[in-house]
Amino acid sequence: MHDLVLQTVAKLIIPFIQLFGFYIIFFGHLSPGGGFAGGTIVASSFILYALAYDVQAGFKRMPRLASKWLESMGALLFVLVGFAGVAMGGSYLANHTGLLDLGEAGTLISGGFIPLLTLAVGVKVASTIISLLYHLLEEKTNV
Amino acid sequence: MTHLPIIVVALYLATAFALPLLGRVKKLHTGYFSLCIATAGLVMSLLTLFYVAREGTFSYFPGDWPPPVGIELSVDWVTVLMHLTINLIGLLVLFYCIEDLSSEVRPGHETWYYTLFFLLMASLNALAMAFDMFTVFVFTEICTLAACALVAIKPKALCVEAAFKYLILSTLGSGMLLLGTSLVYMVTGHLNMGLIGQLLPQAIDLYPLNILIALGLFIIGLGIKSALFPLHTWLPDAHSSAPTPSSALLSGLVVKLFIIVVGRIIFQVFGSELFLMIPIPEVILLFATFGIFAGSLMAIAQTDIKRMLAYSSVAQVCYIYMGMALVSQTGIQGGLLHVFNHAVMKSLLFLAAGAFIYKTGIRKIEDLVGIGYRMPLTMAAFSVGALSMVGIPGFSGFISKLTLAFGALEAESPFFVVVIIISSLLNAVYYLPIVLRGFFGRPATEFQWDKLPLLIIAPVLALAVINIFFGIFPGSLQELARLAAETWLP
């Protein structure tokens, strides 16, 4: 399927979708949203790309292996950041140990490693949704 | 040291996520890597046992946020007992996986199997110590999905059908758990089990209906997941068609953990007074009694050995429910003891049956005549499990049935002693013929040793040794179960 209108609009709108998705992720500790919502938005831009151009073009942009790696890495990052709390003498996932500055509430660089965790969730959710789409599309071609 | 229980969970989760990345390495290496991690888990739960024995039980607050705000993980004696059970059985099943998996799953899917295995183990460990309704719900979901996938990973239509049935029914159970949680949250404003427990005696006067419905939803929802008798319909299909290691895990561990959650909800959230006010113990006892007989009778009718073992699980789960619903300390002690003993026995029986299938391909019970001449060690281990199931003295099954019978006497309901005795006879009806025919049937071939890979025969024999050990020296385990029962019913 090669629809010029769809492809042009997709080309124009995808950067903004991704920007908005990352905005939601990075402001997760300040405003409604966070890793799950932001990750879904980022993933939707890849889904739009794969649908507007072609699945093969989508595979080129975001290879399966990359999304598999990101999926594992996002979840691993979350678990490992939790260990940092233990290593600094607090509980698992403890944020008050002074490893990362808690900063001033309401500013972007604040909240210790919470932004890191929302980023990990965002990466994990985005790559999982892309993987799910790939599974659905692949099933269609296999039959 | 207090971090150990959560480190086990986090380590298993990290391993589950790291394994797909390591999957590029040879498949056997991922298996041995998994073994190292599972051994570390077992060592950590043993250290937790020693720590709790010396310093006493404690609560753990991830992120250092104490309860109304944060999550509470309770490391009490129930948790310690369950962690030991989970990690011990998990490790032995993992040994069995390494050789057996290649004959059960598609080539290349072994690494995914280990990933699912560790997700399951992490969720089971977390369920054992979760002291917060929503944490319970989250890990219930992880556990359910991992368990369904462990059934469906075998490329057979039967497995997919069984897994689908399991998925639908246990999702229904999760929904009920969530609904019950929200009803309790509505009247108490807390998710922490301890805080709900403090507020419920006041709340029951104001909102009796909410709390009754919530208790009903909890028991039915978790009853589906733990296969309490009339809600057990998914279990025989799922447990018999799954790959052998999955059957051992599902029958030995997964159903037990949901019983532990039911126990926590009954005794630590609602409390025994509130629980006894409503005729719910009677209902559970009724279900359990029917389940003990129905499970055994259906097991007698089976011709497939794994299906027979699955129906036997239905009956054995009902023993544990019976122990809890007797609401006497010895009864709960017997139930918790049976959680451990049944986990050992049933995984032993499933792994031995899997070894028969691995070597000979025989699944029909009538074809197992003379199997003792071809696989004497495996059949001896199977016999240990079978005799233990029947409750012959000297095997661990006897100890837990005896304790359950004492519990029934303590609760002044000797009727259940009769139930236990009759059901033991029924167990004998379907277990002993296999043993007798296996050893004394007409041998089809010359006598020969098992000639099984070491990694298959070793866990089977280890489970048999554990079974006999705790049958002859039950003292330490009894003490552990007694302390755990005291946590629930002081």
Measured distance between the N- and C-terminal CA atoms of chain A, rounded to whole angstroms: 20
- Tell me which residue of B5, B12, B89 sits closest to B49, measured CA to CA: B5
Residue-range domain boundaries for chain B: 279-490
Chain A residues in contact with B63 (beta carbon < 8 A): 85, 90-95
Is A90 an interface residue toward B (CB < 8 Å)?
yes
Nearest CA distance, B253 vs chain A (angstrom): 24
Q: Which single residue is written with the structure tokens 């059949």?
A: B379
pLDDT at A143: 37
Neighbours of A97 (CB within 10 A): 17
The reported pLDDT for the residue numbered A140 is 55
Q: What does the alpha-carbon distance between residue B61 and residue B140 come to, in Å, rounded to a whole number? A: 20
> Least CA distance to A80: which residue of chain B?
B14
Interface of A with B in 49-68 (CB under 8 A): 68
Q: State which residues of chain B have pLDDT below 50.
A: none
Q: DSSP class of residue B75?
A: E
pLDDT at position A142: 42
Among candidates A68, A72, A92 on the partner chain, residue whose Cβ is nearest the Cβ of B62? A92
Within 8 A by CB and 6+ apart from B15, the residues are B33, B34, B37, B118
| Phi, psi values for residue A53, rounded to 5° | -90, -95
In angstroms, what CA-CA distances link B471 with B291, B292, B313, B464? Answer: 25, 22, 20, 10
Question: Taking an 8 Å Cβ-Cβ cutoff, which residues of chain B contact chain A?
Answer: 3, 6-7, 10, 13-14, 17-18, 20-21, 60-64
- 10-residue mean pLDDT profile of chain A (143 residues): values are 86 94 90 90 92 83 85 90 84 79 77 86 92 79 43
Domain that holds residue A21: 4-142
Helix B77-100 with B475-488: angle, nearest 10 deg: 120
Comparing CA positions, the residue from B92, B65, B364 lying closest to residue A92 is B65
What pLDDT is stored for residue B345 in this prediction? 92
Residue B414: alpha-carbon gap to chain centroid: 27
CA distance B10 to chain A (A): 6
Three-state DSSP class for residue B365: helix
Q: Is A13 on the interface with B (CB under 8 A)?
A: no
Q: What residue in B sits closest to A94 (Cα-Cα)?
A: B63
With beta carbons less than 8 A apart as the criterion, state whether B261 and B136 touch: yes
Number of neighbours of residue B428 by Cβ within 10 angstroms: 18
B21–A72 CB contact, under 8 Å: yes
What's the total number of domains in chain A?
1
Instruction: Please give, rounded to a whole number of angstroms, the shortest distance from the CA of A95 to a CA of chain B.
Output: 6
Tokens 């790939």 correspond to A134
* Token pair listed for B258: 């949901």
Partner B contacted by A85 (CB < 8 A): yes
User: What six digits make up the tokens of B224?
Assistant: 């589906």
Closest partner residue to B14 (CB to CB) among A69, A76, A85 is A76
| pLDDT at res. B25 | 64
* Nearest partner of A114 among A34, A16, A9, judged by Cα: A34
Tokens of B427: 């167990």
A114 Cβ neighbours under 8 A, 6+ residues apart: A28, A29, A95
Beta partners for residue B58, in sequence order: B75
Q: Can you give the C-alpha Rg of chain A in angstroms? A: 18
pLDDT digits (tens, 9 = 90+) for B217-246: 999 999 999 888 888 888 988 888 889 999
Could you tell me if A121 and A74 are in contact, meaning their C-beta atoms sit under 8 angstroms apart? yes
pLDDT value, residue B169: 92
